[in-house]
Chains A and B, each alone.
Chain A
Amino acid sequence: MSSLTVSSVYKKRKSYTWLYFLLPSIAIMLVFFIYPILLTFFYSFTNLALTGEAAKELKFVGFDNYVRMFHDPTVRVSIWNTLIFLIGSAVIGQQVLGFIIALLMKHKNRLFRRIIGTIVLAGWVTPEIVCALCLYSFFGDEGTLNAILSFVGISDVTWLYTVPMLTIILANIWHGTAFSMLVFQAALDDVPTEIEEAAVVDGASRLQILFRITIPYIKDTILTNMMLVTLQTLGVFGLIYAMTGGGPGTSTTTLPIFMYNQAFVNYQLGYGTAISLLLLLLGIVLSLFYIRSMKEQ
């Protein structure tokens, strides 16, 4: 009796009822997410602007924005800055530091692990504007770092002016390392202890075990994590904007900052969109790699 009723419900399901369930979320994603992505491609070929002549009528300008980008020295600087920021803070900084923390924490005193883990996590949980403020004051002219250094006789380094890129890289490491730490902690826990123990018996050194066994074993996790961290770092805006505003000069102007300046300070929306397309394409390529790696797992 009951099986009959159930199967009739299943039969009913074969109609298009699923559409009603999915429709609201698909509609909202289409309008506010997918449509803007398509617009990015479209607007980047227009002279869209907020003020002046171009604001009155939207015109197709073909590849003008891209030609302009190609000749714009600031674009080259921003791409370069973005790469340094990505590699310094995400690929190397967060990943390596996160891995080192996770590795060193293994089999340590529980209370100690908890304390260190909580401190690192605190930087991750803290909203980015608060992170910017904390690190701005840390690196400030009269900030904590200079106060500490004055004890050893080094006086008043203007960190935010002399090495601005380093300060935002360290700030992003401070903010993001916990994610990699958590990922690697989970991955390292999955490495079977028998393999490592067998290597010890065979007389392998600690470094050999690390590079020949542990790292190859979690290779997939490292790759997936690298793509996720890079994707997260690619879009970082608030942290840099609040700490240095992209300056001094253009020394910390990454692509998101440059896009913002072109679109909302110079009101060149079309040009700004062309720049954001660069970001988007980079994001799309990395995301495709990411889902490919997820499919394999």
Chain B
Amino acid sequence: MNAKQRNLIYRILPYLILTVIGICFLLPLLWVLVASVDSNALQSLKMPTRFTGANYGAVITNGENQRAFLIGLVMSLGQAVIVVILGLLAAYPLSRYQMKYKKPFMLTILFMTSLPITAVMVPVYQLFLSLKLYNNIFGVILFYVASSMPYGIWMLKNFMDSVPNDMEEAAWVDGASVFTGIRKVVAPLMIPGICTVAIFTFSGSWGNFFVPYILLQSPENFPASLKLYQFFGQYGMADYGKLAAFSVLYALPSVVLYILSQQFMSKGFGLQGGTKG
């Protein structure tokens, strides 16, 4: 093998390896997409017997499914809105005031962002029983808010640091209160940051299975993730087409929001989230 051949191999090999990896990642995904429009979907990937929209039609028109999607939407939207509002409030003094314990507080917040939520779910369940919040959709929202609050505060504080003080001060001179300053001056300048936090908290709870699985009991309270699991267990073997259609519809918001979030994350993907500590 001469140098020329070796060079050629070095140039082609990465494409070959990446293509193989790509195919491995694609196949499971392709199945769910194709099966959802197949009139006679099976467990394995195959050409559809007949292309049909009937699977989607059946899933969308089912009242229970609509309810599950609506509940999921209420939970995730509720959580995202509350986290952004409370997070902005908390971020304000952390970003603008001189505070004695700011640094340890921020480190605690960072510490909390990385703790595994799974580990606290048994006590949370017990807590919810005693607070009469068990099987309560609003209770689940409260827990979602608490568990994503550290992330929200951390991100919003860092985004707020990059908004200059001058404009806000100018607003005060014109007679604006601190709250008006946040609402009319600081928040509008942080729209990309607010959207990033809202999207990530929304997607996080939209895709979450364990939290509602532990904290909710009656099927009429189930969000889409639990409904899909139920569907999976009950009819999974019988009706792959509808199962796949439900999955695609359920995954859609996460995918769309991710694409949207890319427009806000212009700084690229660093571990610090483009921030200074």
Interface set of A (CB-CB < 8 Å, partner B): 2, 5-6, 9, 13, 17-18, 21-22, 24-26, 28-29, 31-33, 35-37, 39-40, 43, 48, 97, 100-101, 104-105, 108, 112, 115-116, 119-123, 125-130, 132-135, 137-138, 140-144, 146-147, 174, 177, 182-183, 185-186, 206, 221, 224-225, 227-228, 231-232, 234-238, 241-242, 256, 259, 263-264, 269, 272-273, 276-277, 279-280, 283-284, 286-288, 290-291, 294-295, 297
Q: Name B110-144 residues within 8 Å CB distance of A.
A: 110-112, 114-127, 142-143
**Bound complex: CA A122 to CA B147 (Å):** 25
B99 is contacted by which of A18, A138, A186, A232 (Cβ under 8 Å)?
A18
Tell whether B229 is near chain A: CB-to-CB under 8 Å.
Answer: yes
Q: Tell me how far the C-beta of B239 lies from the nearest C-beta in chain A, rounded to whole angstroms.
A: 13
Q: Name B193-215 residues within 8 Å CB distance of A.
A: 203, 206-210, 213-214
Whether B118 pairs with A256 at a CB distance below 8 angstroms is: yes
Interface set of B (CB-CB < 8 Å, partner A): 10, 14-15, 17-19, 21-22, 25-29, 31-32, 35, 42-46, 86-87, 89-90, 92-94, 96-97, 99, 107, 110-112, 114-127, 142-143, 145-147, 149-150, 153, 169-170, 172-173, 178, 203, 206-210, 213-214, 225, 228-229, 232, 236, 240, 243-244, 247, 250-251, 254-255, 258, 268-272, 277
Among residues of A, the one whose C-beta sits closest to the C-beta of B227 is A129
Query: Which secondary structure dominates chain B's binding surface?
Result: helix
With a CB–CB cut-off of 8 A, which chain A residues contact B147?
A: 32-33
Among residues of A, the one whose C-beta sits closest to the C-beta of B166 is A6
Whether B251 pairs with A235 at a CB distance below 8 angstroms is: no
**Bound complex: CA A125 to CA B199 (Å):** 12
Whether B43 pairs with A142 at a CB distance below 8 angstroms is: yes
Whether A134 pairs with B43 at a CB distance below 8 angstroms is: no
A297 with B272, Cβ < 8 A, contacts A29-B112, A129-B229, A133-B232 known: yes
B269 is contacted by which of A28, A185, A283 (Cβ under 8 Å)?
A185
Whether B29 pairs with A122 at a CB distance below 8 angstroms is: yes
A137 with B116, Cβ < 8 A, contacts A21-B93, A119-B29 known: no
Whether B118 pairs with A127 at a CB distance below 8 angstroms is: no
With a CB–CB cut-off of 8 A, which chain A residues contact B206?
A: 127
